Chains A and B, each alone.
Chain A
C-alpha cells in the first residue's frame, strides 16, 4: 500500500521529547512522517488537542508519557491516561478507529524503545489506511 500516514506524537518534554532527541542524535532513523509536538507534561494534553489533530488530517495520534510514579508533576501521566481512555471511546463513537490513538509510557533513557514504538506504531497506522475523516464528501 503506498500510503504515508500523517502522525502527530505528543511528547512530554521530560521524557519522550528527550528520548526522541537522543534517538536523533544517535542517527537512529525513525519515519519522517512523525510530527513531534512538545508538551510540558502529558497532563497538559487535552482531549480537544487530540480531536483537533484528527480534524487537521492526522491519521494517527501517539501520546508519550512518563512511567507511572515518575511524572515530574506526580500524576500528569495518570491524568493523560484517563483522558486518552475517554477520548478513545469518543473516537470510536464518532467512527474513528480507536487504534489510531496510541498511548505509551516512556522514560528519557529508553530511546531505543521510542524508535521501536514509533516504527511499529507507524506500521499499524499504515495498515489501518487513511483516516476516515479524510474521506472525500
Chain B
C-alpha cells in the first residue's frame, strides 16, 4: 500500500498494475491463503449479521405469500412499489461486474484483472437479489410459471409483446451468461487451489469443480477463445438488459415513463450504481483481506473516473428529460416532471439529484479521487441516490392523466423489511464467496506480470 499511495508518475507512464514485488508464487499464495486460513471472527460476525437480515427477507416473503400484496403500500394508481424499485436497483448494480469483465476485457484494459473476479461475483449476487422481486411481487405467485412458454391444457401462451416478459427473458439470460462467464474464469484458479490443497475434502471438492484442469496450452487455446466469445456476447447483453428493463417504463404511456431516453439513461445509471457498489465492496475487502497490492489506489482511481463520467451522463439524462418534457409540448409530460421536482415526492427527487449528480463531482479533484474515505462515502451516497432514482420513476404513477385518480404511495413496514432483507441476501452471498472462492483472478493477474511475457528477458 505504502508504495502505491505515494506513486506519482509522469503522464503516459503506465504505473505497475499490481504492487509489492509480486511473483507468480506470491500471487497464488496470497490469494489462495484467504480461502485456506482459519475462519476469522470478523467474518463470522459479518456473516451472522448478513444472514439474519437474509432471514428477514425470507420472513417478509413468507408473510407476503400468506396475506397477499396488500401488505405493501400499493394502491391504484401506484400499483407498483418498492418491489419493482428494488428489482431495477439490483439489476442495475449487476451491470458493473459484466462491464468490467467483458467490456474492459475487450478494450484490453489489463487493470481489470484485479477487480473483475469479485465484480463478476457481485453481479451474480445482485442479479439473484433482483430476480427475487419479479417472482414475489405478482398477485398469484403460485401461477408465476405461466409467464414461461410452456405447453398447457389451456392452449394459452404468454404475450410476447409485454416488456415484463422481455424482462424475464433478458434478466434470466443475463444471469445464466454471467454465471458461465464467472465459472469459466474460475476454473484455472480452482485448479490452483486444488493443487495447493492438503486436506482430502478440499482435494475432492476443488478437484471436482476444477474439472481436472491441466493448464495445457491445447486447453488454453479453446479456453481463451471461449472466454473471448463470452466477453464479446456479454457486452451487447449487458447493454441490452437494462435497456429492456427500462422498456417496462418506456413502452408504457404514463407521463414520466413514456420516454425514449430511458434505455441509454438506464444503462448509464446501472454502470454508475454498479461501480459504486464495487467500490464499496472493494474498499472494505481490500482492507480486511489485505489485498492492497492487488487492488491498488490506481484501480480505485480508475473506477472513480468511470463513476464521474457515468454520473454526469445520468445528470445529463435528468436535464434532458426536463427539456424534452417542455419541448414535447405535452401538458401531461411537462406536468409530470414539474410534479417530480416540486410535487409531493420532491424530497425524493432532490435526494436523487444530490447523490447522483452533485456527489460524484468531488472526483474532479485528484486528491479526493485517491482518498479512500471520500470514495467510500461517495460510493454509498451514490447507491442511495440510484435507489431513489428508481423510486422517483416508479411513483410517477401517483399522478397521471386523470386528476381524479391521483393518490399518494406510502411504504409499509413490509416494504422496508423486504428491501433491507434483500441487502442481507446480497451480503450473505458475497461473504460466502469471499470465504471460499479466490477473490482475484490469479491466472489472469499472473498473465499481466512482466515475467508472463515470453519475450521478457526476466529472471526465472
| A associates with B | no
